[in-house]
A and B are shown apart, each in its own frame.
Chain A
Amino acid sequence: MLLIHCPHCGRRPELEFTYGGEAHVARPLDPAAVSDDDWAAYLYSRKNTKGVHAERWRHTRGCGRFFNALRDTTTDRILVTYKAGERAPTGETP
């Protein structure tokens, strides 16, 4: 079980959290204007990174808030967590 550092509450066991999938997937501002390929990419394509992965977690059984984490998917080690809306330490836009 992972020990996850909620940016609001501190370190808590994984059971308090819900996984939210890849972070920084931005919904197109005007869905009607994007191509079918781009819309499908937004809906379904995921980086599925083997290595450092930016992902969302929700402290469901705690403060209830979403936040982001960088986790190495080859070791499951969480490198850093940061609040939703903040820029990822890897430079990805929020």
Chain B
Amino acid sequence: MPRQKFSVLSLLWKSLGQHRGWREQWRRAEPKAEYDAVIIGGGGHGLGTAYYLAAEHNLTRIAVLEKGWVGGGNTGRNTTIIRSNYLFDESARLYDHAVKMWADLSQVLNYNVMYSPRGVMMLAHTVHDVQSAKRHIHANRCNGVDNEWLTPEEAQAYCPPLNIDPGLRYPVLGAALQRRGGTARHDAVAWGYARAADALGVDIVENCEVTGISRDATGAVEAVETSRGLIRTRKVGVVAAGNTSVVLGMAGVRVPLESFPLQALVSEPVKPIFPCVVMSNGIHAYISQSDKGELVIGAGTDVYTSYTQRGALYINMHTLEAICELFPNFRRLRMLRNWGGIVDVTPDRSPIIGKTPVPGLYVNCGWGTGGFKATPGSAHVFAWTLAHDEPHPINAPFTLERFRDGHLIDEAAAAAVAH
């Protein structure tokens, strides 16, 4: 069924019927007995992978299996920050590939993902922070990634609520600003990809949990067992974020991942006050304002591994103390709700995108605390990897084997985020 196109005219036309004439944006698909490719995980990365497989690699029989609902995992739980100011060449290429795709994603999908390049400003509070930020800026510029140094006064001019009082316990000594960085609407990314993939014939099967992966005599993948029956396929892409260890364990593949809760919270909605994204890795706080008016706040992960999708209150307290210090006029805001997602963290804090030792089994995982920003780029190169049975040049360094071979992409210290 061709997708219903969204445009000013179609919106006006449907408004005459009080918007009752719209169809569902994607079908409620029943799982078929066999597919050319099965994607496990219906978040942004998984739905995007299915979309690019159909749109760019002409695979027609594709299913996305989601144990819950579309976008109900980390896609719907993150703080929606987009940036590409990573230190190493491999990371800069990967994340900037995504940032470039964000620019016209709404047009490509005919779905407003509300990408807003409002600028991501990362604060420096110590001499070490300053030196590290300037090193990042130079490295980024060498890789064609925009990033610039701001003095405290320039930082405050860019973000007026920022407190640059030198008497602070952790004073703002300056900031690195990536102007192309920003935010997007997380749900719209999942929905937009789901709708676009569905229009190309992809079956999106919700409430379908994978319980096993069957392999033939040669060891290659031949089927996935699910809560809704056996599905035969020769290609399986695992995009299961915090549950990746569990899913890959079904095929006997061990991965260097640990799953941690990562919490976020939002304030009550207020009028527009916060024009950009501010991150402080030194004192563990990220903040931006959603288009609904809520301040969206995030921090580092909880300390112990868990699958509970909740975390300790003291982690949020720590973050809010930092927010109140940096933005004193938010001290009387009430927090509306908080939640957690389960993030899969690798030892070098870089993702794993590629083949596994099992023929026909591919994995896209290890995005840790920062996967949302990479959604289009990650899905694009992972679809390429599935279609060609070899990695795209951009994700070629992000193999599972790098841990054996010692070619780590060690953003753990370099990504300049709170882990």
Q: Which residues of A contact B (CB under 8 A)?
A: 1-2, 14-15, 18-19, 21, 36-37, 39-41, 43-48, 50, 53, 55, 71, 73-76
Contact = CB atoms under 8 A, between A and B. Distances in A.
Contacts of B405: 36
B180 to A, nearest CB: 33
A37 B405 CA distance: 9
Nearest to A38: B404
- Shortest 7 CB-CB contacts between residues of A and residues of B: A44-B256, A48-B245, A40-B404, A19-B304, A19-B303, A44-B403, A45-B254
Interface of B: 243, 245-246, 254-259, 303-308, 312-314, 347, 403-405
A45 B255 contact: yes
B321 to A, nearest CB: 14
A93 B258 CA distance: 21
A7 to B, nearest CB: 18
Contacts of B243: 50
Contacts of B246: 48, 50
25 contacts: A2-B312, A14-B314, A15-B314, A18-B303, A19-B304, A21-B258, A21-B305, A40-B256, A40-B403, A40-B404, A45-B254, A45-B255, A46-B245, A46-B256, A48-B246, A48-B258, A50-B243, A50-B246, A50-B307, A53-B305, A55-B304, A73-B305, A73-B306, A74-B308, A76-B308
Which among A15, A36, A40 has the highest number of chain B CB atoms within 10 Å?
A40
A1 B305 contact: no
A1 B243 CA distance: 23
Contacts of B313: 1
Contacts of A47: 245
A23 to B, nearest CB: 12
Contacts of B314: 1, 14-15
Contact of A37 (B303, B312, B347, B404): B404
B418 to A, nearest CB: 16
A39 B404 CA distance: 8
Contacts of A71: 304
Contacts of B347: 43-44
A17 to B, nearest CB: 9
Nearest to B246: A50
Contacts of B256: 40, 44-46
B308 A73 contact: yes
Nearest to A75: B308
A50 B308 contact: no
Nearest to B314: A1
Given A39-B404, A40-B403, 20 more contacts: A1-B313, A14-B314, A15-B314, A18-B303, A21-B305, A37-B404, A41-B254, A44-B403, A45-B254, A45-B256, A47-B245, A48-B246, A48-B258, A48-B305, A50-B243, A73-B307, A73-B308, A74-B307, A76-B306, A76-B308
A13 to B, nearest CB: 9
Nearest to B401: A40
Nearest to A36: B404
A3 to B, nearest CB: 12
A47 B404 CA distance: 17
Nearest to B245: A48
Nearest to B244: A48
Greatest chain A CB density within 10 A among B305, B307, B308 is at B305
A39 B406 CA distance: 11
A2 B256 CA distance: 26
